Structure 1
Amino acid sequence: MHKFKNLFDLKPINMKNRVLTVTLTLLTAGVTFAQSTKRKDQETIKDMCGCFEIEFKYAETFSDQEGYKKHDDYYATALEWATLIEDEKDKLAIQHLLIVQDTMVIKHWRQDWEFENTRLFTYQADKSWTLEDLDKKEVKGQWTQKVYQVDDSPRYSGSATWVHVDGRDEWQNSTPAPLPRREYTKRHDYNIMLRNNQVQLTDYGWLHEQDNKKIAEDNDGSTTNIAEEKGYNSYKRVPDSRCAVAQKWWVENQDVWKKVRAAWEVLLASKDQIKLKSKVADKRLYEYLFELKPEAGSEEIKAILTQFVE
């Protein structure tokens, strides 16, 4: 007998089992990779928490309008505490608190991050938003950033994928938004800001870079691009101890703002579109909410919100 005969005397291969094994291996690898990527996304988002010195810098760059005079550059600084207020499987929420002159705390904006979210409110114009349903396949692996105003009303939302490559961790999305606080009382020549937002972690903290378009939308839906601007919000991490006053303030006030968020959640869940009044009895919404006592009840909060929703 040939001495190599046994080497070739093999049993037939069960191809169905082989294909099934390979398929299961690939699926397992895919799930593991997706879970690892999601964990990296979550870690990156949480890295936006802490105590930060912030620089806000904006400059108008281009305009298609003949005779348009560019507005002055904008520059401001701030000290801010960003604290994680929700940490769930598919949702993270960060509350920002401004510190003024080292002693006074002002509730600032909030950002929620929702994984593979299919429901968001898109800004239209003139303090109105419309519910948009996203295709489940299109948002696979994506995170929606939902930005809220100081009174926890909607501001803008957008969905995109966090990218971790070549040492960079960044997220980028384009979405319509209301006028920024630095201009909404000064400018009347446009009513929508089309924001191109890029959020990027840096060696000093994180950067919110923007390429924005200032758009005037008429009642018939026609639009005019008034001007474009470049923006940089730089968040430089500093010791948490510098934000101790904000940490203390949040401990004392977080319960009432949790009720405000819950009231908004119920209200928005029942709406396909929402339009907010600028003032009621000559007061803005945030003025009513900022006056709430820590022990304020849900019914009192609901009554305030419903006054402003048309």
Structure 2
Amino acid sequence: MKHYLVITLLFFVAFSATAQSKKEKDQAAIKKMCGCYEVTFNFAETFNYSQDSLYKPSKTKIDKGLEWAQLVEDTDNKISIQHLLQVGSPEQPYIVKHWRQDWLFQNKDFYMFDGDNKWNFETKTEDEVEGQWTQKVYQVDDSPRYEGSATWVHVDGKSFWENTTTAPLPRREYTKRSDYNVTLRGNRHEITEYGWLHDQDNAKIIRQEGKEDIILAKEKGYNTYVKVEDSRCQGAINWWKEHDKKWATVRAKWSEVYNRNKDLHLEDKVDNKVLFKHLFDEELTNKEDIDKTIESFVKK
């Protein structure tokens, strides 16, 4: 009996060490997305299924920029990375607060985009998310964008994570296209020798209540993040040091909203302005005013 217990204990210790080693590899891969990068955004519509003979596909889009990915939070079960675009001359750069990605280990709570500025709250079981990381992606104003759960894979010298989930239209599309209202995003994040890759296979979806989704077109996205010296992003680094407290207040308010654990429906505009234009106002720094502004966009 004693011999059996010893073997069982040794097996448990070995299993725990292996699981911890896997988790540490996951954490290391996620944090490799931090730093200063030359980014190239490539998007091309590949197939269209429209019945309209006058249908015009989206134009191929290629953009480049310098992006700083700031580690905001690093705990055992959560890693948060804030992206900042840096444009203009290095001497007088202009900084744009960009998207944020939070990675949560074995997270069970999700806000899934359903179209028309609405996210449905859903929960998964412990078994469904065992060993997985949820990537939660937020808009420039820290409102929700999309999220999904999957396992980081480390094999043959590669580290990658793949998931397919629903999302709003990308910024490059939503001011130009009104013929679809949901993007089905196939996301692959892969750590590479040059930095990392965000590889996408997306479908443009027409979603109407009570009807089956219709695929209007498909799109390929291929965004490369080439690592460069951190000093090239010094403008973004300095900007974050100056503004991080304000955005911590914004994140705290949104966390309070998300922790209500119910469907979330947001206004498009309040006082004829979208949310990010309110929050990007340099005069808006008081916690009470920030909280009130965000709450005004949450439909009751």
TM-score range, shorter chain: over 0.9
1:55 aligns with: 40
Deviations 1:146-169 (A, max 9, x none): 000000000000000000000000
- Tell me how far apart the structure 2 counterparts of residues 154 and 197 of structure 1 sit (CA, whole Å): 17
Alignment-mate amino acid for residue 127 of structure 1: N
Deviations 1:175-233 (A, max 9, x none): 00000011011011100000010000011000000000000011324211000111101
- Tell me how far apart the structure 1 counterparts of residues 244 and 101 of structure 2 sit (CA, whole Å): 16
1:308 aligns with: 297
Alignment-mate amino acid for residue 4 of structure 2: V
- Tell me how far apart the structure 2 counterparts of residues 304 and 65 of structure 1 sit (CA, whole Å): 40
State the Cα distance separating 1:298 from its structure 2 match: 1.8
Superposed, 1:103-142 pairs within 5 Å as 103-142=93-132
State which of 82, 87, 98 in structure 2 corresponds to 1:95: 82
1:242 aligns with: 232
Q: Find the structure with the greater CA-based Rg.
A: 1
1:46 aligns with: 31
Superposed, 1:1-310 pairs within 5 Å as 16-66=1-51, 67=53, 68-102=55-89, 103-293=93-283, 296-310=285-299
- Tell me how far apart the structure 1 counterparts of residues 96 and 218 of structure 2 sit (CA, whole Å): 30
Deviations 1:123-156 (A, max 9, x none): 0001100111011111111000000000000000
Q: TM-score, normalised by structure 2?
A: 0.96
- Tell me how far apart the structure 1 counterparts of residues 172 and 201 of structure 2 sit (CA, whole Å): 16
Alignment-mate amino acid for residue 39 of structure 2: I
Q: TM-score, normalised by structure 1?
A: 0.92
Residue ranges of structure 2 left out of the alignment (5+ in a row): none
State the Cα distance separating 1:271 from its structure 2 match: 4.1
- Tell me how far apart the structure 2 counterparts of residues 210 and 194 of structure 1 sit (CA, whole Å): 10
Structure 1 runs of 4+ aligned residues shifted over 3 Å read 66-69
1:13 aligns with: none
- Tell me how far apart the structure 1 counterparts of residues 239 and 209 of structure 2 sit (CA, whole Å): 43
Partner SS state of residue 61, structure 1:
strand
Alignment-mate amino acid for residue 50 of structure 1: G
Alignment-mate amino acid for residue 280 of structure 1: V
Alignment-mate amino acid for residue 79 of structure 2: L
- Tell me how far apart the structure 2 counterparts of residues 221 and 107 of structure 1 sit (CA, whole Å): 37
Partner SS state of residue 272, structure 1:
coil
Alignment-mate amino acid for residue 105 of structure 2: F
Alignment-mate amino acid for residue 236 of structure 2: A
Deviations 1:40-82 (A, max 9, x none): 1111111000000111111111122243443221111111100
- Tell me how far apart the structure 2 counterparts of residues 71 and 256 of structure 1 sit (CA, whole Å): 37
Identity, % of aligned positions: 48
Alignment root-mean-square deviation, CA: 1.1
Alignment-mate amino acid for residue 160 of structure 2: E
Alignment-mate amino acid for residue 290 of structure 1: F
State the Cα distance separating 1:273 from its structure 2 match: 0.7
Partner SS state of residue 173, structure 2:
coil
Provide the aligned length of Structure 1 versus Structure 2.
Answer: 294
Greater displacement, 243-252 / 54-63: 54-63
- Tell me how far apart the structure 2 counterparts of residues 128 and 26 of structure 1 sit (CA, whole Å): 47
Alignment-mate amino acid for residue 280 of structure 2: F
